[in-house]
Structure 1
Amino acid sequence: MSIYSNILAVADVNRDEQVALARAAKLAAHSRSRSQLTFFLSIYDFSYDMTSMLSSEERDAMRQGVISQREQWMRTIAQPYLSDDFDLHIKVVWHNRPYEAIIHEVFEGHHDIVIKGTRKHDLLESVLFTPTDWHLLRKCPTPVALVKNAHWPQGANIIASVHVGSELETHQDLNDRMVEQAMSMSERLNATPYLVNAYPATPANIAIELPEFDPSAYSDAIRGHHLTSMKALRQKHGIAEEHTLVEQGLPEEVIPKAASSLNAGICVIGTTGRTGLSAVFLGNTAEQVIDKIGCDILALKPEGFVSPLAPN
């Protein structure tokens, strides 16, 4: 948790409680080095750009007036979070695409994490993400934390959704990063880290097409491989066996269930940042998990990920 020293907290003009600011302030206060916290807002009103009777200078003045009003509102909101432990800055920009404004600020301000509030659907106990959330998960170069509650749940733990069955170096490196993040946050928040992995069930069509195929032996082999891989990962990072969980099933079913049973306050998850047609038609396993999980999310990209919005 101490690795985050330049934090970007995104304001939400539609909520009285600024959950991102509250969580960001807690993160900044627990850093080993002095942190910088930027409370950020992107605003836009189409009508200010369509007032043809005004000159460009007059329109700029009107926009600046709106920005100044929002800055004053944010200073008032941020007052309870001021601390001698970190420096807090206010920044408001005029931009018609909030996710682009946030990512541009990440590059410009050299921030190392984005924290943003998200919504919870009370009926289904799941998270409802906005288009801005999805764009950040796919395109933001830094870790993205999506939070629902201003205060850390009492007695909550932290889980890392690892993919131990893969032999791809990208997945293995991402597993290490997720475990390290979970352990670091657990230390700062006095929580227990858990590693959770889902492995696939035996495809039904194989047993039908190959009569000599033994589905039970195949399932045992797959489970054995995942258990062995999980053991190697937990031993590498010094995590006890009882703090690991390997379950058969789809990740979007196993991970949310585990988060609930383990009283997770945060789930650390890896996302490939898929964009374009592949994102539309193929989706993203991480995003399917995120869509169903009931706790906060910390999404990490693979090492070397390049944002499509990176400056040239």
Structure 2
Amino acid sequence: MSQYQRLLLIIHLALRHSPAIDHAAALAKASGACLHIAALIPTLKLLPLLEEGDREKARERYLQDHRDWLKDQARQLRAKGVEVTTEVAWADDVAQDILDHVKELQPDLLIKEIQHESALKRTLFTPLDWHLLRHCPVPVYLVGGAHHALPLKIVAAVDASAVGPENSELNDRIIQQASSLAIQCDAELHLLYAYDITEDYLEELGGGLKLSELTKGLRKELEKSFLTFAGRYGVPANRRHFILGHPVSALSEFADKHNVDVIVMGRVQYHGMEKLLGSTTEHILYQVPCSVLAV
């Protein structure tokens, strides 16, 4: 039986040609899951446009136009063998309404197109995608790039140096989700560990050792830890990737060079300044040329 029984896709009606619909439909068909597509329209943004004349009639005409379009999309998907339902509704608080939908429908996966925000806006406001990554109780599949609708190459990004049961459990979840997705899509599964060895960190640990000596020694230890970790999960040697560098840039470069379709990563709860600046997974959204599945 597939791990996916129900998928929830949230779409922005301004992006009628969003690749998220194709991605969600392809995954639903491959896994045999039913797909619910919800178009949530921010109420406040449209109020100035609807105040003239009969406001209620204008609101209803606006909704009906989008319902008709979405129903036509659903008909096309059903013709391809996808079980799909649709919904168009106003949303006073889009982020909360999405979480309410997740709570009500209990999907195995929340799917949404990545919504790119400027660095300035991210400083002033928490982006919608960040909010979902922090608060959604189910895995979040954020569609990005222009790759295959059904993934052909999937990368599980883990932290092989992490200690403690909580980090070990997160690594397990990442690999399980990535492996299940790869099986559903008949895709290649790769395991990647990107580690950033900063000069200050090395000098602090190295004492009297030369920086180059410590770098070499630490790299060997980290790589050994990663290979042991990969071996426990039976990942083939040619699909194990140990990379030194900042995780955001390293993952982005790897995804671009190797035509990766999806990166599976963990979500970590942050507080204080870390929460304000965002986590690695949150910043990855604006860098990698592919989709991100956060667990």
Structure 2-normalised TM-score? 0.83
Q: Tell me the residue number matched to 1:8.
A: 8
Q: Is the 8 A contact 2:133 2:140 kept in 1?
A: yes
Separation (CA, whole Å) in 1 of partners of 2:49 and 2:198:
59
Q: Is the 8 A contact 1:43 1:95 kept in 2?
A: yes
Shift of 1:297: 0.9
**Alignment CA distance shift 1:267-1:212 (3 Å):** same
Aligned length: 286
Separation (CA, whole Å) in 2 of partners of 1:180 and 1:245:
18
Does residue 178 of the first structure (1) align with residue 174 of the second (2)?
yes
Q: Which among 51, 64, 67 is matched to residue 71 of structure 1?
A: 67
Q: Tell me the residue number matched to 2:110.
A: 114
Q: Tell me the residue number matched to 1:191.
A: 187
SS in 1 for 2:286: helix
Q: Deviations over 1:40-95 (max 9, x none)?
A: 011133365999999xxx97676455434322221022222115744211122221
Q: Tell me the residue number matched to 1:139.
A: 135
Q: Deviations over 1:24-44 (max 9, x none)?
A: 11111111xx42210101113
Q: Is the 8 A contact 2:50 2:58 kept in 1?
A: no
Q: Tell me the residue number matched to 1:238.
A: 234
SS in 2 for 1:8: strand
Unaligned runs of 5+ residues in structure 2 are 118-125
Separation (CA, whole Å) in 2 of partners of 1:113 and 1:97:
21
> What does 1:82-101 align with in structure 2 at a 5 Å threshold?
82-83=78-79, 85-101=81-97
Does residue 290 of the first structure (1) align with residue 281 of the second (2)?
no
Unaligned runs of 5+ residues in structure 1 are 122-129, 301-312
**Alignment CA distance shift 1:150-1:29 (3 Å):** farther
Shift of 1:201: 1.7
**Alignment CA distance shift 1:65-1:196 (3 Å):** same
Separation (CA, whole Å) in 2 of partners of 1:171 and 1:276:
20
Higher mean C-alpha displacement, 196-205 vs 103-112: 196-205
Q: Tell me the residue number matched to 2:214.
A: 218
SS in 1 for 2:70: helix
Shift of 1:264: 0.4
Separation (CA, whole Å) in 2 of partners of 1:86 and 1:257:
34
Q: Is the 8 A contact 1:137 1:299 kept in 2?
A: yes
Does residue 36 of the first structure (1) align with residue 31 of the second (2)?
no
**Alignment CA distance shift 1:266-1:204 (3 Å):** same
Q: Tell me the residue number matched to 1:263.
A: 259
Letter in 1 for 2:27: L
Letter in 1 for 2:9: A
Q: Deviations over 1:79-123 (max 9, x none)?
A: 2211574421112222122221111100011112111123679xx
SS in 2 for 1:30: helix
Structure 1-normalised TM-score? 0.79
SS in 2 for 1:16: coil
**Alignment CA distance shift 1:274-1:76 (3 Å):** farther
SS in 1 for 2:232: helix
Q: Would you tell me which structure has more helix in proportion to its own residues?
A: 2
Separation (CA, whole Å) in 1 of partners of 2:76 and 2:143:
19
Separation (CA, whole Å) in 2 of partners of 1:21 and 1:241:
35
Separation (CA, whole Å) in 2 of partners of 1:79 and 1:145:
24
**Alignment CA distance shift 1:179-1:229 (3 Å):** same
Does residue 17 of the first structure (1) align with residue 17 of the second (2)?
yes
Q: Is the 8 A contact 1:138 1:273 kept in 2?
A: yes
Letter in 2 for 1:168: G
Percent identity among equivalent residues?
Answer: 25
Q: Deviations over 1:263-303 (max 9, x none)?
A: 1011111121436654114x212223332111111111xxx
